[in-house]
Structure 1
């Protein structure tokens, strides 16, 4: 995984360690962390995106409806990162090697972030209102919990939860049917990567401070 340098990249840390890792690396120009704008989707990629969005809508059409306009990008499969949300540029990235069902679940996760946090300089992930790093990290871990719950709901509804790693399926077993507040607390205290999320957001706040855009793009 590339190093954490900004809030935008902090949103990516651990985000989709939701599949078993495979030791491959992105080509530099194709990396979702590149400074370059992502290339336009091909006709085949647009068709896959349309299919995944349709699957998402079949389970919960409100997720896409509540999200602001974003750009979609595909990146090469590496077995580690399955999706990302970059708030500064309003980009949602998807691993083109995943199944249509898994892609729909990842759209649920990343579009939930976009809908709740917003995009551009006004994003609550970029323009932070918290005064302290710990408060911001707590806030963002709650946001990750909500996004993971959406991801699980869609994956379970589409019968592809088994495509995700054991930590995610275990989270489903602990949270399914629970009120949201209780499910968020379960995520914070039991999800394998929750401490890493918290640390990454804490470090991002310490690097960039409150109420300001990150010092550099990812």
Structure 2
């Protein structure tokens, strides 16, 4: 019953946010198109519920061809566009994932979706993180984001799966606002969202 309520919350929440944020998302799309050659969105394969792969959407924040760069990404990386740097600072580049939530690929709250090659490195007991839909934000994101080590983030993902409740989801949503506004932990080692394991592949 609780999971059905969670899915209903995802549907209503993502639809409402897409409607409310449409003007902002349109403005972001125009800024990207006007300031950097290439597509507005980039699409990347990620691992979702029960290991099923899906195509995750993001606003493009880097120059086209940055997928061939092997260095780790940092806030001062010259391949991040000026608009992209602002989008990353405020996590606005993740807004297109509201469509992934509406489609059922993701949830508003859950472990962040991993790249397939990253997920392959999980131990058998860590695969339990895929027993729930990946989220726009999660327990690891409000407790340090990429400032946390790999093992710390996976442990928090498993804690979320074990402790899940609607009340926990509401707490994470509230704490996410403060985390995004403060910019805590946006960049750090061992990242699968912002670091070398997750180079923005701008080929779409």
Q: TM-score, normalised by structure 1?
A: 0.28
After TM superposition, the score normalised by the length of structure 2 is 0.29
